[in-house]
């Protein structure tokens, strides 16, 4: 619940108190904009987290492939004759 909604719930409509709500339309509009910005930021943050995880997965996969290639390319010498694994 936004700060404007809390304030509106605490205050009652009275003849004197109705003056406080003359700009209710602008307060409501600002609240909607703040809500929309929060949703956009949340979606953007999730997108960045997913992109980072995919990037880390790709880096680890390539690193493992390079480790396998170097392990297969090592040669073992038995009785002076080089042999590959």
Where in the sequence is the domain holding 35, given as residue range(s)?
A: 3-70
CA distance 27 to 42: 23
Banded model confidence at residue 74, pLDDT cuts 50, 70, 90: low
Which residues are registered as beta bridge partners of 84? 75
Say whether pLDDT at 20 is over 70.
Answer: no
Cα gap 31→5, rounded to integer Å: 9
Mean pLDDT of the chain: 79
Q: How many domains does the chain have?
A: 1
Amino acid 57: pLDDT: 97
Q: What is the mean pLDDT of residues 33-56?
A: 97
pLDDT at 84: 55
Are 21 and 12 in contact by the 8 Å Cβ rule? The answer is: no
Assigned domain for 85 exists: no
Let me know if residue 81 belongs to a domain. Answer: no
Q: Which residues contact 85 (CB under 8 A, 6 or more apart)?
A: 71, 72, 74, 75, 76
In this structure, is residue 49 part of a structural domain?
yes
The answer to whether residue 84 is domain-embedded is no
pLDDT at 44 over 90: yes
Please state the rounded mean pLDDT for residues 14-41.
81
Q: Is residue 76 part of a domain?
A: no
Is the pLDDT at 53 greater than 60? The verdict is yes
Residue 77 lies in a domain: no
């Amino acid at each position: 619940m936004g700060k404007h909604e809390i304030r509106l719930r605490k205050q009652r409509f009275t003849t004197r108190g109705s003056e406080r709500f003359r700009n209710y339309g602008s307060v409501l509009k600002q609240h909607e904009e703040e809500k929309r910005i929060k949703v956009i930021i949340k979606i953007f943050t999730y997108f960045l987290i997913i992109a980072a995880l995919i990037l880390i997965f790709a880096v680890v996969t390539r690193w493992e492939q390079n480790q396998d290639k170097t392990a297969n390319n090592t040669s073992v010498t038995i009785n002076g004759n080089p042999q590959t694994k």
